[in-house]
Structure 1
Amino acid sequence: MSSRKHDAVFDDVLSGLDQPAAPAEAEQARGGTRFLKRSHALGERMAGTREEKLLHWVDPAECRMWERHNRDYAALTEESCRDLIDGMLAQGRQEFPAVVRRLKGEDHAYEVICGARRHFAVSWLRANTYTQFRYLVEVRDLTDEEAFRLSDLENRERADLSDFERARDYAEAIELYYGGKQKTMAQRLEVSEAWLSRFLALARLPAEVRAAFASPHDLRELHARTLKPLLADPARRAAILEEAAALAQEQREGAGLEAAAVMRRLKSAGVTPSVPALRHYGAEGRGVSVRRKGRGYVIEMPGGLSRPEAEAALAAFVAAQFDPESGSDKA
């Protein structure tokens, strides 16, 4: 049979599939469609191009968060999950499955690796009259290291996951799974060592500095990058930690200082203010004061100074600049 005839016959066979079947033929048509789909799926699996996923609709109460889940579940609220709750209400169900592992001999059947917000949203809906909602999960067999990488990959670009949550997760994982080797961890996560180093520095900020912020969620990777070299100087470190303790006390008392204000105070701790050189010429209380400003001078003269007093004070200033042997102080 020629290629053109083969295509024509094939088109003819499939031409009726998009049309509504007659009542007597409906079940036969559905059976044929299921057979074609199943045959196609089996072919893909045998060819290694298809991976079957096992999905379940479960009660969220059957699930617990993995102890190393990188999201702070306790910090989730109706407000922070409102977009997800509204989306589920609009769709009538959860659209994308969470990833879980099975548990044996535990109070829960599943452990949530990815999908904390989805779990919260479904739980909230069920607790607020929408009892028909269930939690869609994909069951996988994962090692702890694989679970960590999967969770990190899913949440890496999420704006609602704070830098500090991510940093804390990395600091724990590098010891648990990578023997403390930053290079190995960066390769497994497929990120640069420099990028990973910045988050590890954030996790390793002194507890006193972390407490200076109103919330750990206010901490950013940039803050650690700025403070790291300052803390490396022993003298500056002591001053920064002292200022951090003062800030922490103010925060506990309800100051509510924003991150930018906290950083300004921490960066200025231990820095000696640069005071312009100030010299006085003439009789005490009856002369002129001179200070440097850039490459010039600012001369301040009090009101009520007589002309002779002013001339004498200015002469002393000029002499100090051009006649060092005069014994007068230079400005």
Structure 2
Amino acid sequence: MTNRNKRLFGEIVKDVQNDENSPTQRRTVPSHLLDRTNRLSEINSGDIIEKVHRLVNPEQCRMWEGHNRRYDLLNEQRCDDLIKGFKSQGKQELPAIVRALKDDQNYDYEVICGARRHWTVDWLRNHNYPQFKFLIEVRELTDEEAFRLSDIENRDKEDISDYERALDYKLALERYYKKQKDMAERLVMTETRLSRYLDLASMPQEIVACYADPTHIKISHWVELKKLYQSPKTRGDLMDIASEIAQNQNKAKDESGTIFDSQQVFRQLMKAANQRRRNRTHYLGEYYTSSGNKLLTIQRNGRQGFLIHILANSGADTDEIISVCNQSIREHIKN
């Protein structure tokens, strides 16, 4: 509200209040005018904040590049509650928060909060409900303010995943904050909790690819998988298994086969990597023939003994076998 309007409203309120002291005037002032005057007085004092909502076509809006939801993963299933609610109410009740765009030839607004609402209205308009429009509230926000507003709105919602939030926090830390501590304070979040999200964002893409839907990745998954990934003894096995699972998932998608859910993927990764580690025999040495075939292995047998295992199908003759056996003994058995 401009200063001029505030002064105008103030004068109106003052005049009406003065008039109320006159019995004659009190009788002649209509009740609806008094109600309006009281409302203007509250607005002028700051007790009421008026917001302007607009109804626009969803085609006029695009997602803000810093939006914390994967718009490309939205579908009828993920927006089912909104679709039913909009149909029941006949309209969108809660406005999306947007910013006005300047010098953009294709769009008028960018959506800060309300990706699912935008998707739902667009879906309804394309499925026999052309009367629906996108309800928006235009605000002036910096990028950092937009990030925090989006985070606050979606933080307690179950339909936005740990992984989506993790990527959002990682990007925000790089763009808006100097230190992780500063970011935690602005978000009113413990550093420990923020660290867990940032850690999840570092999950290797080879493991992310195992999940048919990355929005199903949870912090608890990476807490356990990270232990296998960080250990030199199990990292190779984990990544090998991840590659196999990802290939099977893609094949299942292409052939309309059975796709593993997030918990099944997690259990497979943990079980297979640990099983391979247990099954792998620790050899002190492996020896090969001159043609490259494995000839024998040597491993510890108890505290004071060694076991030499000669492969019968190596293709080596007797002289080569004896020579390699002598070599393994000299290298591992001390006098």
TM-score, length basis structure 2: 0.68
2:56 to 42, 55, 58: 58
Q: How does 1:141-290 map to 2 (within 5 A)?
A: 141-179=140-178, 181-254=179-252, 256-268=259-271, 269=273, 272-273=277-278
Assess, with a 3 A threshold, how the Cα gap between structure 1 residues 83 and 263 changes in structure 2: closer, same or farther: closer
Q: Is the 1:212–1:245 contact (alpha carbons within 8 Å) kept by the matching residues of 2? A: yes
Counterpart amino acid of residue 165 in structure 1: E
In percent, how many aligned pairs have the same letter? Answer: 47
CA distance in 2 between counterparts of 1:101 and 1:36 reads: 36
Map Cα deviations across residues 41-75 of structure 1 (whole Å, 9 max, x no partner): 33333333322212111111111111121112222
Map Cα deviations across residues 89-118 of structure 1 (whole Å, 9 max, x no partner): 222211111111001111211111111111
The residue aligned with 1:127 is 126
Assess, with a 3 A threshold, how the Cα gap between structure 1 residues 246 and 50 changes in structure 2: closer, same or farther: same
Counterpart amino acid of residue 118 in structure 1: R
TM-score, length basis structure 1: 0.68
Assess, with a 3 A threshold, how the Cα gap between structure 1 residues 263 and 85 changes in structure 2: closer, same or farther: closer
What's the CA shift for 1:128? 2.5
Map Cα deviations across residues 310-330 of structure 1 (whole Å, 9 max, x no partner): xxxxxxxxxxxxxxxxxxxxx
What's the CA shift for 1:131? 2.2
CA distance in 2 between counterparts of 1:267 and 1:117 reads: 34
Q: Is the 1:198–1:224 contact (alpha carbons within 8 Å) kept by the matching residues of 2? A: no
CA distance in 2 between counterparts of 1:135 and 1:260 reads: 36
Q: Is the 1:65–1:116 contact (alpha carbons within 8 Å) kept by the matching residues of 2? A: yes
Q: Is the 1:101–1:112 contact (alpha carbons within 8 Å) kept by the matching residues of 2? A: yes
- Report how many aligned residue pairs link the two structures: 246
Counterpart amino acid of residue 225 in structure 1: V
Counterpart amino acid of residue 226 in structure 2: K
Assess, with a 3 A threshold, how the Cα gap between structure 1 residues 88 and 212 changes in structure 2: closer, same or farther: closer
Assess, with a 3 A threshold, how the Cα gap between structure 1 residues 89 and 178 changes in structure 2: closer, same or farther: same
> Which has the larger displacement, 124-133 or 204-213?
124-133
What's the CA shift for 1:274? 8.1
CA distance in 1 between counterparts of 2:74 and 2:223 reads: 28
Assess, with a 3 A threshold, how the Cα gap between structure 1 residues 87 and 264 changes in structure 2: closer, same or farther: closer
Counterpart amino acid of residue 208 in structure 1: E
What's the CA shift for 1:123? 1.6
CA distance in 2 between counterparts of 1:105 and 1:86 reads: 36
Counterpart amino acid of residue 227 in structure 1: L
CA distance in 2 between counterparts of 1:200 and 1:221 reads: 10
Assess, with a 3 A threshold, how the Cα gap between structure 1 residues 86 and 151 changes in structure 2: closer, same or farther: same
Q: How does 1:287-306 map to 2 (within 5 A)?
A: none
> Which has the larger displacement, 240-249 or 112-121?
240-249
Give the secondary structure class of the aligned counterpart of 1:234. coil
Which ranges in structure 1 are unaligned for 5 or more consecutive residues? Answer: 1-27, 276-331
Assess, with a 3 A threshold, how the Cα gap between structure 1 residues 257 and 130 changes in structure 2: closer, same or farther: closer
CA distance in 2 between counterparts of 1:185 and 1:216 reads: 25
CA distance in 1 between counterparts of 2:233 and 2:34 reads: 75
Map Cα deviations across residues 183-241 of structure 1 (whole Å, 9 max, x no partner): 11111111111111111111111111111222212211111111223322223223222
Q: Is the 1:97–1:136 contact (alpha carbons within 8 Å) kept by the matching residues of 2? A: yes
What's the CA shift for 1:258? 2.9
> Which has the larger displacement, 170-179 or 232-241?
232-241
Assess, with a 3 A threshold, how the Cα gap between structure 1 residues 227 and 36 changes in structure 2: closer, same or farther: farther
Q: Is the 1:94–1:135 contact (alpha carbons within 8 Å) kept by the matching residues of 2? A: yes
Map Cα deviations across residues 274-294 of structure 1 (whole Å, 9 max, x no partner): 89xxxxxxxxxxxxxxxxxxx
CA distance in 1 between counterparts of 2:108 and 2:117 reads: 17
